[in-house]
Structure 1
Amino acid sequence: MGALPQIKATTRPDARTVHLSPAQRRRLLDQAANAAPDTARSLNLGPHEKLVPKDVIQDADGTVHTRYERTYAGLPVIGGDLVVHQRHGAHTVTYATKAKLTLPTTTAKVPAATAKKSALSKATAKGTRRAGSHSAPRQVVWMMSGRPKLAWETVVTGVQQDGSPSERHVVTDAASGTTLENSEHVESAQGNSLYSGQVTIGSTLQDDGTYALIDPAHGGHRTLDSSVNSNGVLFTADNDVWGDGTVANPQTAAVDAAYGAQTTWDFYNDRFGRNGIADDGRGSSSRVHYESQQGVPLANANWQDGCFCMSYGDGADGQHPVTSLDIAAHEMTHGVTSSTAGLGDFGESPGLNEAISDMMAAAVEFYADNPNDVPDYTMAELDNLHGDGKPIRYMDRPSKAGISSVGYAPLDYWTPQAKSQEPHMVAGVGDHFFYLLAEGSGQKTINGVNYDSPTYDKLPVAGIGRSGAADVVYRALTVYMTSTTDYAGARTATLQAAADLYGSQSSAYEAVANAWAAVNVGNRFVNHIAVEPPPTEPVAVGQPVSRQFSASSTRPGPLTYSAEELPKGLSINHTTGLITGTPKKAGDYKTVIAIRDAAGDTRKLAFTWTSLESGGHFFVNPSTYLIPFESKAESPLIVQGKPGHAPSDLKVAVDLDHQFSNFMIIDLIGPDGTVIPVKPWGPGWEPLPELHETYTVDASAITKVGTWKLRVTDGTPGIYSSWDPGHLQRWSLTF
């Protein structure tokens, strides 16, 4: 697969983010707070809901993007955040969830003491050692799964297995006592430096004539020695030359950390006008040679919201400080993400969080262009983090990193299992997207490093340049992503960002979509037309069909649809793409669907469409129906032929998929409305992801001819609400 030439992406001037001074930012936040009741009413929020402004961004054209947290009856709502985009008196909204926020009561059945005891136990089970310190449980509303639940949130602190500080948030259902979340909130991942050569860093001359590693040009960032105690002691010296470039000198790692902090600050400020991690001018701190309060040395690095700081260990062997530039940029970007979208700890969001930190770490490396740390698309290639001299992540082909300690390799492409896998492995999907968006697919050499990035659909991708890719991701993160954003949501957010920056008819917009399609997220543009996956499962003779073909184009104007060799009895609406009718003849049809836009571009889809025989003693409906969570699906089946009653041994064959197919309840509904139980709830609690069974029921009291229905009711318990909905794939009756 050859490489395509890179796309020249020119940013629209009115889409630039305006730099706000701290006073301007505070004024906009105060205005949003004063207007919050009116804003809540305009969004049709309930009487118990209130909005609390968290962040604000202003564009050159005057558009203001205000990010709000939500409360319900005074309780914080986890997963209820939203962003209001206000432009010239009109507004649009990006929601973490659109589910209605209402609770039958705010009185907990489970006492706080019970929730606290459970939280301590759950934290220990997940690897938090010495989990004795904790906050008092606070009552919250849990919305991360899209369904509001009254809950307790307990923050348990201790030490992780690798020596990192642990700050585990355990959320307990206040009605049932089940654990809704158990997530770690400490994000793991002139001086002579170890990795970046001789660099200039900020310091402060103190009253006693000594120097301290306090950087006045970067919010007062402080670099601390944590080999003394876990909180760290400020590095001071009699002269203003720090470190000697060797591991033996404790100051050397401090130089790397200070250099990484200032370079990352400068990147965000120069590129996006961002004034520090939280955009408030406040500097963070860096703790090097970190050891926990219990004396456990840290091998890795992490960001921690609680101390607004980075902590850096000295590697697995204690001789390789994990302080290279990309590690520093990665950890500080966790802080940026926390201050903006607040990507949560549910589903794919943690993996996306890690990926965005990798993306911006690469962007910072290229921004710095340091000859001692040559910019590339790998992570921690200088730190020897695992003691094997290899990077921990490869963005062009993430799986090259091999099997990790958690038993998985990073994902090259999205799969449905991404929501349940380890976040650093799931980050591979986003890393790969960013590389493809920046550089494109195929073989190439960048700064002496050879890359050969594949694509899921085996089609080439043209990149828009690393600056363009970083612009798109940053705007998506800070303007359109929320705490619940997954990879599908990230695609939506980055496409909206690309539309803002370059226009929705631009090549850059298409490149964003195609880079996502290349990692198996969403649809690709071919000839400027993108098509939803066509519903091409078989049809059946005598069973009415309604199948929608949906497409979009980056060119203005309507689309038209045409079809060749549809199953006999079907036709397509040339304006809407809806295929309807009743198949009249069984067979395999070599169908071609053509979509044409107003500019004359055409995209064709060719496939074999099977029409099944249905009649006599055997009738089948092969159309797929979604089974919504805690709801039901009904699929009709028209039976024709001789009148009379159905047999006492009617065969009902069912094919469906669901993570817990055993929790599905199946009923057959006769033409007269009689309900015949087919399958009860169960058996067992072990997940059975598919069901392919034939059941025998007594239908002898029901007339055979007419419309039968199969009803599948989802009986999945609420504790499994995060799983994807299932599908009734097909069913049949044999008389």
Structure 2
Amino acid sequence: MNPKLRLGAAALLALALPVCQAWAAGATSATSAMVRASQAADPPSPDERRNAIATARAAVLAEPAALRASEHDAFALTSAVEGVRGLQYLTYARTHAGLPVYGGEAIVTTDATGSVIGTVTTGQRTEIAVGTRPKVSAAAAAVTARARVARPASVATPVLSVHAATAEPRLAYEAVVSGATGAGRETRLHVYVDALTGKVIDEWDEVRDGTGNGYYNGTVTIDTSPSYTMRDPGRPGVQCGGQNGTPYTKTTDTWGDGQGANLETACVDALYGAQREWDMLRTWLGRNGINGQGGGFPSRVGLNAVNAYWNGSYASFGRNSAGTQQLTSMDVVGHEFGHGIFQFTGGGAGSGNETGGLNESTGDIFGALTEAYAANPNDPPDYLVGEEVNLSGQGPIRNMYNPSALGHPNCYSASIPGTEVHAAAGPQNHWFYLAAEGTNPSGEPASTRCDGGAAITGIGVRKAGEVFMSALNTKTQPWTHAKARVATLQAAKTLYPGSCAEFNVVKSAWDGVSVRAQTGEPTCAQTGNDFSVTLDPASGTVTPGQSATATVRTAVTGGSAQSITLRAGTLPAGVTASFTPETITAGQTATLTLATSASSPQGDHAVTVTADGVDVDRQAAYNLRIGQTSQNDYSFTVSPASASVRAGEAATATIATQVTSGQAQSVTLSAGEAATATIATQVTSGQAQSVTLSAGDVPLGVTVAFDPQTITSGQSSTVTLSTAAGVSPGTYAVRLNGDGAGVDRSATFSLTVAGGQGTTWAPYTAYAAGDVVTYEGVSYRCLQGHTSLPGWEPPGVPALWARS
């Protein structure tokens, strides 16, 4: 079937579909068949793909008014990608009188059978009514575009086009300038020059700054070519090498030395992160590769800059300011290729600071999703960005649960379109955390709403990712927070029909970051009794013959509590599932145990848990990774994971250890300055081993002691944190590390010290120049505005404070 469509009088007599009210500022929609029940679905078959193309074609033909199309417009299918639960997204590029139209694409969404489900969208706001004869020459447009880059190297021949991403379409030249910025950063700038006036009307840059034996991820398995080349044989386009673009090659398949500055080690981390992101997209979000059509992109390490970036065709990774670490932690890798996902969804990369901020946030979200999916104990999942790379010696570069901790806005406001793009990532990052985790999640940091509204219980990181990816697949230019709100609400309603639970959380999260309701946005009316179900954790890794456990959590979301029977779907060979108890009442919890056998197939396996209620059924998914390990291992937990004391008091907690693989090993516990999660140890294979406990690098005035000092994995110890009277008030993340004979593990204890005598200074507080505080009885005057962090006490930072 010819995917190119032209709208003329005859075509308008084709299949007619009812037109819906516009559902977002600058976007329109049309509906037909309702989406089938939300459940896990196989990828569409060839017949279903062909049916999707046919019905999408008919929908585009039938909706000229909704698409703001004129008789001179034509549409050509440019991509067809799969999404979660079998949804399909088809993107049509628009031309006007033969000229390409930027911002005029149409996106059609179908269910797995290929039936259109109500989202035929475009970002174009009005019908194109422009002449096609320019008054400015292409050569003049090239000169104008070249002047926009500090160090231009080349300018591609300008292409006459129609720019329709603004309120009124305009005849324009698109010129692509390659070169470098004044700061030396690579750039591929797309400049749109008005073809009548010669003035620049818009521009966007393909290059997006981000901030074996890996340094960050430990000893891991990476997929390389049989010829011992760092090229993934099963994920097209995924490879890693130096700045010349050639993948590293050697005579063995053992890579890296585990050192932070080693480039081969950096490639281990980069490949591992890219491969886990690919797997997360496939397993959790139903997406085939970074570009949605089975393609990935290379990584290049060794960039001689304190930077990492995506340039439209590969990701380049530099170093931290100290030169001690390459910037290839999992969240940074996930972030950079997250820019690729943003680019290869509807509307492309886009222009403007608001779209740019949403693009940066998209990278952060995919970094967090990749960490959550991988569940690597060396880099545990969190919602901090770049905390492992220590870019400039001050820890993370962005904080998703509290962006303002790093000087970025938590809330949307009219100033966001003028805010630098990395800071402008704050509101959507905050929204994603509220949607995934809520305001006061168990085991995660608390997060506050901007509007002072009611507490939010999150839907889980995987579901939040499903909603976000589905919305991103319908992205049109210009992409705004208002349009993202509407698209995610539509996605939640489409993905989870019959329940308003997920919809209401997504809506509350947008309200919570001050993105207000939009005219014509979707609504959801709850009827009858209902409940939600989540798994905590949502993934786990075991060796064949061992077991994984998760807590099944339920909550009443409508009406009254109902009886629920729990069951598991199709399981891998040799795996059994049991629930304790098997029947609960909505609002209660149960424990899921997945027991594997020695013959269970290795790899990632999606296990569907069904909660069979009296009135409704709900589902949650668990990713079971079965893999062989060759070393002794153990888990590591601390209980409780936090305490609040006054200066001069002590806090105690129990550290539990258990062998998780191999034999028991000696584990040494120590305290450090970085935060992780709950600590526990358990043998999962092999034998128990000796574990030695110690502490170090704790906050000034705090001492840590263990009783007993040495244990065997599977045993426990009590840790006591004592504070002196002069300890500065604040919350301290104390890392407790298990130093085993072959494996190290760690967890975080959150110690809050209440205010003592003579100290008014506190961490996580905004101070303006001229503010006066006291610290241990001494008065200090603020020299420059900042938000305080632990370790920035006035005596130790003379650049910020002076005695008054």
Scaled to the shorter chain, the TM-score interval is 0.5 to 0.7
Partner AA of 1:332 in structure 2: F
1:382 corresponding residue in structure 2: 388
SS at match of 2:149: helix
- State whether residues 135 and 154 of structure 1, in contact with CA within 8 Å, keep that contact through their aligned partners in structure 2: yes
Alignment TM-score, normalising by the size of structure 2: 0.57
SS at match of 1:432: helix
Partner AA of 2:73 in structure 1: E
Give runs of aligned pairs for residues 637-648 of structure 1, distance below 5 A: none
Is 1:221 matched with 2:216?
no
Partner AA of 1:118 in structure 2: T
1:348 corresponding residue in structure 2: 354
- State whether residues 442 and 454 of structure 1, in contact with CA within 8 Å, keep that contact through their aligned partners in structure 2: no
- State whether residues 52 and 88 of structure 2, in contact with CA within 8 Å, keep that contact through their aligned partners in structure 1: no
SS at match of 1:490: helix
- State whether residues 16 and 501 of structure 1, in contact with CA within 8 Å, keep that contact through their aligned partners in structure 2: no
Partner AA of 2:436 in structure 1: A
Deviation sequence 1:247-285 (CA, Å, 0-9, x none): 343211111111111111111111123221122223321
Partner AA of 2:314 in structure 1: C
1:118 corresponding residue in structure 2: 144
SS at match of 1:154: strand
Distance 1:330 1:517, change over 3 A: same
Offset at residue 213 of structure 1 (A): 0.6
Deviation sequence 1:661-718 (CA, Å, 0-9, x none): xxxxxxxxxxxxxxxxxxxxxxxxxxxxxxxxxxxxxxxxxxxxxxxxxxxxxxxxxx
Distance 1:430 1:96, change over 3 A: same
Deviation sequence 1:271-330 (CA, Å, 0-9, x none): 12322112222332111112xxxxxx232111222xx21111122343321100011111
Deviation sequence 1:27-48 (CA, Å, 0-9, x none): 5787589769845768672121
**Which of the two has greater helix per residue?**
1
Offset at residue 444 of structure 1 (A): 5.3
Find the partner of 1:516 among 489, 510, 520.
510
Mapped to 2, the partners of 1:162 and 1:198 lie a distance apart of 36
- State whether residues 218 and 283 of structure 1, in contact with CA within 8 Å, keep that contact through their aligned partners in structure 2: yes
Find the partner of 1:149 among 156, 170, 173.
170
Is 1:286 matched with 2:299?
yes
SS at match of 2:259: coil
Partner AA of 1:397 in structure 2: N
Is 1:457 matched with 2:452?
yes
2:371 corresponding residue in structure 1: 365
Mapped to 1, the partners of 2:173 and 2:50 lie a distance apart of 34
Mapped to 1, the partners of 2:116 and 2:295 lie a distance apart of 33
Find the partner of 2:326 among 321, 328, 336.
321
Distance 1:24 1:199, change over 3 A: farther
Offset at residue 178 of structure 1 (A): 1.7
Distance 1:149 1:234, change over 3 A: same
- State whether residues 83 and 287 of structure 2, in contact with CA within 8 Å, keep that contact through their aligned partners in structure 1: no
Mapped to 2, the partners of 1:28 and 1:223 lie a distance apart of 38
Find the partner of 1:103 among 129, 139, 142.
129
Mapped to 1, the partners of 2:362 and 2:82 lie a distance apart of 22
Give runs of aligned pairs for residues 493-508 of structure 1, distance below 5 A: 493-503=487-497, 505-508=499-502
Q: Which has the larger radius of gyration?
A: 1
Distance 1:552 1:225, change over 3 A: closer
Is 1:304 matched with 2:302?
no
SS at match of 1:205: coil
Is 1:431 matched with 2:429?
yes
Mapped to 2, the partners of 1:456 and 1:339 lie a distance apart of 34
Find the partner of 1:133 among 154, 179, 203.
154
Mapped to 2, the partners of 1:154 and 1:532 lie a distance apart of 36
1:266 corresponding residue in structure 2: 279
2:762 corresponding residue in structure 1: none
Partner AA of 1:303 in structure 2: W
- State whether residues 230 and 240 of structure 2, in contact with CA within 8 Å, keep that contact through their aligned partners in structure 1: yes
Offset at residue 15 of structure 1 (A): 5.9
Offset at residue 551 of structure 1 (A): 12
Deviation sequence 1:355-376 (CA, Å, 0-9, x none): 1221121111011111110110
Offset at residue 512 of structure 1 (A): 0.7
Offset at residue 112 of structure 1 (A): 1.1
Distance 1:26 1:532, change over 3 A: closer
The gaps in structure 2 that reach 5 residues or longer are 1-34, 529-558, 560-804
Partner AA of 1:266 in structure 2: D
- State whether residues 142 and 150 of structure 1, in contact with CA within 8 Å, keep that contact through their aligned partners in structure 2: yes
Mapped to 1, the partners of 2:58 and 2:278 lie a distance apart of 32
SS at match of 1:217: coil
Mapped to 1, the partners of 2:183 and 2:324 lie a distance apart of 15
1:554 corresponding residue in structure 2: 525
1:255 corresponding residue in structure 2: 268
Offset at residue 441 of structure 1 (A): 0.9
2:195 corresponding residue in structure 1: 174
Which stretch shows the higher mean deviation, 169-178 or 374-383? Answer: 169-178
Deviation sequence 1:407-426 (CA, Å, 0-9, x none): xxx21000011112211111
Partner AA of 1:288 in structure 2: V
Partner AA of 1:437 in structure 2: A
- State whether residues 204 and 215 of structure 1, in contact with CA within 8 Å, keep that contact through their aligned partners in structure 2: yes
Is 1:338 matched with 2:348?
no
Mapped to 2, the partners of 1:18 and 1:347 lie a distance apart of 38
2:597 corresponding residue in structure 1: none
Offset at residue 338 of structure 1 (A): 1.3
Partner AA of 1:240 in structure 2: D
Mapped to 2, the partners of 1:506 and 1:188 lie a distance apart of 38
Find the partner of 2:92 among 31, 56, 68.
68
2:649 corresponding residue in structure 1: none
- State whether residues 77 and 92 of structure 2, in contact with CA within 8 Å, keep that contact through their aligned partners in structure 1: yes
- State whether residues 36 and 51 of structure 1, in contact with CA within 8 Å, keep that contact through their aligned partners in structure 2: no
Is 1:416 matched with 2:421?
no
Offset at residue 232 of structure 1 (A): 2.3
Mapped to 1, the partners of 2:245 and 2:87 lie a distance apart of 42
Provide the aligned C-alpha RMSD in A. Answer: 3.2
Find the partner of 2:461 among 462, 466, 485.
466
Distance 1:35 1:355, change over 3 A: same
1:238 corresponding residue in structure 2: 251
Mapped to 1, the partners of 2:49 and 2:523 lie a distance apart of 41
Deviation sequence 1:581-628 (CA, Å, 0-9, x none): xxxxxxxxxxxxxxxxxx9xxxxxxxxxxxxxxxxxxxxxxxxxxxxx
Find the partner of 1:196 among 182, 201, 217.
217
1:589 corresponding residue in structure 2: none
Mapped to 2, the partners of 1:28 and 1:158 lie a distance apart of 44
Mapped to 1, the partners of 2:287 and 2:264 lie a distance apart of 29
SS at match of 1:132: strand
